[in-house]
Structure formats: structure tokens, C-alpha cells
Amino acid sequence: DAGVIQSPRHEVTEMGQEVTLRCKPISGHNSLFWYRQTMMRGLELLIYFNNNVPIDDSGMPEDRFSAKMPNASFSTLKIQPSEPRDSAVYFCASSFLLDSPLYRYGYTFGSGTRLTVV
């Protein structure tokens, strides 16, 4: 398996533009997570899905952020309109469900998307 695949690796955009981040989880994993990492706030959970269904989006900063998972192999995180304070590294991670004996292998992270909003 190629692991969790995120695209793009880097994104530089102007304030006000729409940004779409993409993630392909590991095949067979049932849970998908979007995290944001900054120096000031560390790793923050934005939203997670179980079996393609959003379970908890309480970490999504505001209405400018939205996430979808139309099928088991693809998810998007969209920011519209983007602002300079959204600049961060956005990680996608996937795992087996909590009640799976394979959950002990934890999360696998993608390489992240480094977003810069100018």
C-alpha cells in the first residue's frame, strides 16, 4: 500500500481564494481524520469520519471550512474564502475503527499539505 496520499504537497494562495486539499486513505481503513498543525497550537483535530460519515466536526474553526468524504477512498477539505491565519500544515490520517483489533496500529498520516495564504 502506498500509505495515506495527500495533495498538493504545497499550496500558496492569495487571501480570499478557495483552497481544496485532498486525501486518499489507506485501503481498508474505516476512519479518516483531518488535522492542522501550527507552531503555536500544535496538532489540532478538525474533523473525522467513520465509514465516510462525519462524526465530529467540532474542531472546524468556522464556516469557511468544510470537509467531505464521498467514498471510502477520497476526502477533501475546503477553505473558502482563505485567510492568512489559515496558513499551516494540514495532515490527513486514517486508521481502523476503535473496536477493531487492528486499532493498536494507530493512525497513519499523510505527508501533509503546507498551506500559505498571502
Residues that bind other proteins (CB under 8 A): 31, 33, 35, 42-43, 45, 48, 50, 55-56, 91, 95, 97-98, 103-112
Least distance between other proteins and beta carbon 48 (Å): 6
Query: How far, in Å, are 8, 50, 65 from residue 98 at the CA level?
Result: 29, 10, 26
Nearer to other proteins, 39 or 63 (CB): 39
Least distance between other proteins and beta carbon 13 (Å): 20
Contact 48, 69 (CB under 8 A): no
Least distance between other proteins and beta carbon 16 (Å): 27
Query: How far, in Å, are 20, 32, 50, 94, 102 from residue 113 at the CA level?
Result: 10, 16, 22, 15, 27
